[in-house]
Amino acid sequence: MYNLFSEFIDKYGARPSGSKILEDSIDHMVNLTIGSGLNDVTTEEVEVPHWVRDTETLEMLQPRYKKVAIIGLGPSISTPSEGITAELLVVKTFKELDSLNKEDVRGKIILFDEHYTSYGETVIYRVQAASKAAHKGAVASLIRSVTPYSLYTTHTGSQHYDDDVPRIPTAAITVEDSHLLRRLFIRKNKIVLKLKMESTYDTQKSRNTIIDLKGAVDPDKYVIVSGHIDSWDVGQGAMDDGGGMMISWFAPVILNHFQLHPKRTVRAILWTAEEPGLVGAAQYLKRHIKELDKIIFIMESDEGTFEPLGLEVGGSKDAVCIIAEILKLFTPIDNLKVSKNPGSDIILFINEGIPGASLMNKNDKYFRYHHSEADTMDVENIDDVVNCAAFWAAVSYVIADISVDIPRQ
- Residues labelled as active-site residues: 274
**92: amino acid identity, one letter:** K
- DSSP class of residue 158 equals B
How many angstroms separate the CA atoms of 384 and 406, rounded? 28
The partner residues of 308 in beta bridges, in order of sequence, read 361
Q: Which residues neighbour 327 within 8 Å (Cβ) at sequence distance 6 or greater?
A: 310, 311, 333, 334, 335, 336, 395
The string of DSSP codes covering 168-235 is: --EEEE-HHHHHHHHHHHHTT---EEEEEEEEEEEEEEEEEEEEEE--SSEEEEEEEEEEE----SSS
- DSSP class of residue 314 equals E
- DSSP class of residue 240 equals I
How many angstroms separate the CA atoms of 13 and 3, rounded? 15
Under 8 Å between Cβ of 373 and 234: yes
User: What does the buried/exposed string (b/e) look like for 129-143 if buried means 16 or more CB atoms within 10 Å of the residue's CB?
Assistant: bbbbbbbbbbbbbbb
CA dihedral over 47, 357, 2, 215, signed as positive or negative: negative
Three-state SS at 40:
coil
CA dihedral over 339, 344, 350, 352, signed as positive or negative: positive
